[in-house]
Amino acid sequence: MRWLAAFVALAAAAFFLGDYHNDVYRKMLLWVMLALGYNFLFGICGQIAFSHFAFYGIGAYSAVILLFQLNVPLPLAILLGVAVCVVVALAVAIPSTRLEGFYLALATLALAQLFVVVLNEGGAVTGGTGGIANYRLPPIFGFQLRGPWYTAVIVFVLLMTLWILIKLDRSWFGRACRAVRDNPEAAAAMGIDVARTKVIAFTVTSALAGVAGMTYAFVDNTVNPPIFGLDNAFLLLFMVIVGGSGRHAGAAIGAVLLFLLPFWLSPLVGHHHVLVFGVLMLAAILLQPKGLIGLWDRYSR
């Protein structure tokens, strides 16, 4: 019931927005979706990875290539897109989580770089540096979803993502992830397969990033390499840390704030808003490691 209310409220908002603000709203929802998934991996499972945004791109490109280069029907394209993300995630995570330390961070950094190279060099399949454009979402049950109606689809996918993450978090799996984050050796002594837990957390969150990417593919109706570069991978990390890592609400607040901040700051400081981000990030780490949600906790008591 609460989920339905949230869906109605968030989707209805889109109908009151003009084209420009609808576009901003959709992108904000997508950032929240990404931050929620990344928070599960980084904040709850304690794993540092830089591939979350690359999986967003893998999802987007997979959907577009499957639908318009290979003419796969939409439901099958969605399933195959998720499958591609799962296979790539397993291929990266299985070897790199067997080792302690920074191997997952390094492997995912390499993946994120490699992905952009593949996009640029992909020829006709990926459209090279120009990417792929001029496609439209196929009709769903005969309806051409557009404008605020497509925003409602994004809201649905966002709430589905949140629902999955909350269910996982409140189960034995969520506790295992937190145990792995807090003390891997004690987690193993409790019977938790540490490497397997990391692999599952990484694969599930990467697949969710892929789904977000598929949704994104029909927001701008174009996919191209510069969108999926590394800067956005770091921005995600900032969002989670500033908002409050380990908490769904924290990740959502961080995503909304850091996404909207440049819109307010740009008229004042131009492109130097990145500097403001850096200061915010340092302030969060030094003064408030629990992020904005931690501040909220303190003052609401």
Partner 1 sequence: MGPILEVRGLSKRFGGLTAVAGLDFEVRPGEILGMIGPNGAGKSTTFNLIAGTYAADGGEVTFGGEPLLGLAPHAIAARGVMRTFQHNRPFAGMSVIENVMVGAHTRFKTGLISVLTGNAAREEAEERKKAESLIEFVGLQGLRDADVTTLSFGQGRLLEIARALAGEPRLVLLDEPAAGLTPDELERIASVIRGIAARGIAVLLIEHDMHFLLPLAHRVVVLNFGAKIADGEPAAVRADPAVMDAYLGSHAAAR
In angstroms, what CA-CA distances link 13 with 31, 86, 292? 17, 33, 25
Closest approach, Cβ 180 to partner 1, in A, equals 9
- CB closer to partner 1 out of 119 and 199: 199
Q: Phi and psi for 290 in degrees, rounded to 5?
A: -90, 5
- Could you give the C-alpha distances from 286 to 240, 264, 281, in angstroms and in order? 15, 25, 9
Nearer to partner 1, 121 or 193 (CB): 193
Longest dimension (CA), the chain: 58
Nearest distance, CB of residue 64 and partner 1, angstroms: 28
The one-character DSSP state at 147 is: T
Q: For residues 61 and 122, give the distance between their C-alpha atoms in angstroms, rounded to a whole number.
A: 11
Nearest distance, CB of residue 185 and partner 1, angstroms: 7
In 3D space, the residue among 65, 124, 69, 114 whose CA is nearest the CA of residue 88 turns out to be 114
The CA distances from residue 102 to 52, 86, 95, 96, 285, in Å, are 16, 21, 12, 9, 20
CB of 197 to partner 1, least distance (A): 10
* Interacting residue ranges for partner 1, rule: CB under 8 A: 164, 167-168, 170-173, 175-176, 178-179, 181-183, 185-194, 200, 246
- For partner 1, give the closer residue by CB, 171 or 221: 171
117 versus 186: smaller Cβ distance to partner 1? 186
CB of 168 to partner 1, least distance (A): 6
Q: Report CA dihedral (147, 28, 6, 36) to the nearest 10 degrees.
A: 140
Nearer to partner 1, 158 or 200 (CB): 200
Q: CB of residue 13 vs partner 1: minimum separation in angstroms? A: 28
DSSP tag of 73: -
185 or 231: CB nearest partner 1: 185
Q: Which is nearer to partner 1, 76 or 190 (CB)?
A: 190
Contact status, residue 121 vs residue 128, Cβ threshold 8 Å: yes
Q: Measuring CA to CA, how many Å separate 250 from each of 98, 225, 254? A: 30, 29, 6
For residue 283, the minimal CB distance to partner 1 (Å) is 22
Measured CA to CA, the distance from residue 84 to residue 186 in angstroms comes to: 34
